[in-house]
Amino acid sequence: MAEEEAVQFEEGPVPVLKWDQGLFEQIVRGFQFPVEWDARYPRQSQTAADALPGNFRLPATNFMASILHFYRFHVSQMSPAGMVRVRHFEFLCRSQGMEPTVEKFQDFYQLIRNIGFYSFGNCGAAKKILLSPPKSFQ
- Per residue in 65-120, pLDDT (tens digit) is 899 999 988 888 888 889 889 999 999 999 999 999 999 999 999 999 877 789 99
Distance from C-alpha of 49 to C-alpha of 40, rounded to nearest angstrom: 15
- Per residue in 27-57, pLDDT (tens digit) is 888 878 888 878 888 777 776 667 666 666 6
Name the residue type at position 44.
Q
Note whether 117 and 78 are within 8 A (CB). yes
Q: Give the pLDDT score at 133.
A: 61
Q: What is the pTM of this model?
A: 0.56
